[in-house]
Structure 1
Amino acid sequence: MIATHAQTLANVAEHLRDDEIHVWQLDYRPQHGREPLRSVLGVYLGIAAEHVTLVDGEHGRPALADVHDPSLGFNWSHSGNHALIAVGRGVTPGIDLEQLRVRPRALEIARRYFCNDETTALTALPAATRDAVFLELWTAKEAVLKALGRGIAFGLDRLSIVSTTDGLTLQRLEGDDATAWQLQRLAVDTTLVAALAWRGDVRRIRLGRLASGD
């Protein structure tokens, strides 16, 4: 529930440019359901949250009903008590968020679901850094698949991600031109790993934080 900084949200939303994507970080509780998402989208649409109608796509991705502005694209992700909401015009963003924690089965999962080059890169890493890189690859893959409107059933091995100190790169995407995609790691919190993906030109990412109440 957005309790403070509503004026800041309204000011920022009003000035959403066609070459931007706005990303909002907020506290989240499962009992809130999609209410925080509707609250944010309502500000961008200029209507009350209760008038925001969402529909689910074939693979579960939420979208705005046809009665709303068709140019506004969004996606959201939540993990634990945190959520991220991405909003842009003329774009279909995908965003994913995970809490940074020990993953004792990271290599096992990678060998089963990731590409060989990704698994090889993870195996070569020191154990102390492997979990963070694994989660970064995972969130990046999820972000791309969500931007596609697909889930992990599409196949995590059908796309390949390279993670370096300079950033994330979509190396391969089966059935599509990987060079047409943008992929960004999001430095939202030291305890979180997050990625944002979209197909199209480079855009400026504007990060914001919303205070939340119970």
Structure 2
Amino acid sequence: MTATHAQTLANLAEHLRDDEIHVWQLDYRPPLGRKPLHVVLGAYLGIEANRVTLIAGEHGRPALAAGHDRSLGFNWSHSGDHALIAVGRRVTPGIDLEQLRARPRAMEIARRYFSTAEAEALAALPVTARDAAFLEMWTAKEAVLKALGRGLAFGLDRLSIANEAGQLTLQRLEGDDVGAWQLQRLAVDTTQVAALAWRGDMRRVRLGTLASGD
């Protein structure tokens, strides 16, 4: 799924199915702010990007203002020069992206903010594997919290993530049924780690690239 210009993006957006989530990879340039997000949402809403109005939810999560199709759920994340935007109908996706780089304080952070089981799982890994494993766990937690509409203030220790045979699983979420949740690692590139989460039935995740300049 690749969009090379606005018309192609609009065509793909028009065919978003209720059992899908579209995830777009794009370049991130801070001076543009939320403009790329407005462009993508405008395509799915069938309006010009400058007519898209966002409001802040109870915990700061961006949401569509009244007057827009509120059945459209979305979330975005950016790190370094890259960004991801997730869009789906009748679902509230949470997405998180981090650059893969050395994290010298990974174990310190894990022991302080993660569950005991998570910290022990990281400590059991070879040192060379800990940075990637820490970021996989971090992005998964962030994705779930963003799908909840909450931030880090909710508490990273109130949910637990495990890596079972290469698959991320949500093992505990305080006050909720983990069986109602979906969590997926996203195959972006070798320099990034990303995760997508949502509450609801399994959906097909379509990962695409939005060309620079769209």
Q: What TM-score do the two structures reach when normalised by structure 2?
A: 0.96
The corresponding residue for 1:19 is 19
Deviation at 1:4, TM superposition (A): 3.8
2:84 counterpart of 1:52: no
Corresponding position of 1:141: 141
- CA displacement 1:84-136 (0-9 Å, x = unmatched): 00000000000000000000110000000000000000000001111001000
Instruction: Return the alpha-carbon distance in structure 2 between the equivalents of residues 165 and 132 of structure 1.
Output: 15
Question: C-alpha distance in 1, partners of 2:70/2:76?
Answer: 17
Deviation of 1:173 after TM superposition, in Å, equals 0.1
In the other structure, the counterpart of 2:99 is: 99
Instruction: Give, in whole Å, the separation in 2 of the partners of 1:212 and 1:164.
Output: 36
Query: What residue in structure 2 maps to residue 84 of structure 1?
Result: 84
Query: Residue 117 of structure 1 corresponds to which residue in structure 2?
Result: 117
* 1:164 to partner: Cα distance: 3.0
Aligned-pair identity in percent equals 80
For residues 193-208 of structure 1, the aligned pairs below 5 Å read 193-208=193-208
Structure 2, unaligned runs of 5 or more: none
Q: Give the total of aligned pairs.
A: 212
More displaced, 161-170 or 96-105?
161-170
Distance 1:116 1:80 in 2: 30
Question: Shift of residue 213 of structure 1?
Answer: 3.4
Deviation, 1:166, is: 3.5
Distance, in Å, in 2 between the alignment partners of 1:136 and 1:115 is 15
> Matched residues in 2 for 1:48 and 1:135: separation?
36
**Partner residue, 2:179:** 179
2:153 matches 1:153? yes
2:170 matched residue in structure 1 = 170
The equivalent of 1:191 in structure 2 is 191
Alpha-carbon shift at residue 9 of structure 1 (Å): 1.4
For 1:86 and 1:58, the matched residues in 2 are separated by: 20
Letter of the structure 2 residue corresponding to residue 203 of structure 1: R
For 2:56 and 2:79, locate their aligned partners in 1 and report how far apart those are by CA, in whole Å: 20
In 1, Cα distance between the equivalents of 2:97 and 2:131? 14
Shift of 1:5: 2.8
Runs of 4+ aligned structure 1 residues displaced above 3 Å come to none
SS of the equivalent of 1:138 reads helix
State the AA in 2 paired with 1:190.
Answer: T
Coordinate RMSD, CA, aligned: 1.2
Consecutive unaligned residues of structure 1, counting only runs of 5 or more, are: none
| Secondary structure of the corresponding residue to residue 21 of structure 1 | strand
Aligned to 2:129: 129
One-letter code of the match for 1:210? L
Of the structure 1 ranges 108-117 and 7-16, higher mean CA displacement relative to structure 2 is found in 7-16
